[in-house]
Chains A and B, each alone.
Chain A
């Protein structure tokens, strides 16, 4: 079975540009999480979807960040405009129902210069 698929794996962009990160969850998983990992803050939950509906977006840093899940097979995390402090690894993770194991994608390594 394919795991959680994220793209791009690496992105370098200039400050002010729009960044879109993509995630394809494991088939059948109805919970999807976006995490950000930095040295300073560790793993932070940005947003959590259940059955394509955003349940908890309290971790989204500011209005520059937005996330969508138009269907069960796809989610995006968008940063517009990007800033150097957004440089981090962004992980998408999914699980089947509450309490079950969360499986992570390989991460999208974002550098904003």
Chain B
């Protein structure tokens, strides 16, 4: 089983629609961290959010919001009123403590979002 599953490979929405990108993770650790990154067509990987496993509060940043639910091991990302500039590949990632106390980071395969004007 994959540690980070992004079941939606590609999503297309019309501008101004809301869209939710799903992320399901798997870990046995009690302390872990979850991330979302955006990769626009230009190719760089842009950090969006980091959440630790003890903080289940949802977060909102402008049109972006994140829903973290430990009960379902999910960390979903919603874009409200999508815009063309939101078109990108979005990656969910899980950071666990590997052997020796070091960081072990696993990325999902990414969800390609296309916002159609």
Contacts and interface: CB of A to CB of B under 8 A. Distances in A.
Determine chain B's interface SS by DSSP, over half rule. Answer: strand
A101 B47 contact: yes
Interface string B99-117: 0111111110110000000
Contacts, number: 58
A45 interface: yes
Contacts of A56: 98, 102, 104
Interface residues of B, number: 26
A104 B44 contact: yes
Interface of B: 31-33, 35, 37, 43-45, 47, 50, 52, 91, 93, 95, 97-98, 100-107, 109-110
Given A98-B102, A106-B44, 12 more contacts: A31-B102, A33-B105, A42-B110, A43-B91, A56-B104, A95-B103, A98-B103, A99-B31, A99-B33, A99-B97, A101-B35, A102-B47
Chain A to chain B: the 3 pairs with minimum beta-carbon distance, closest first: A104-B45, A98-B103, A43-B107
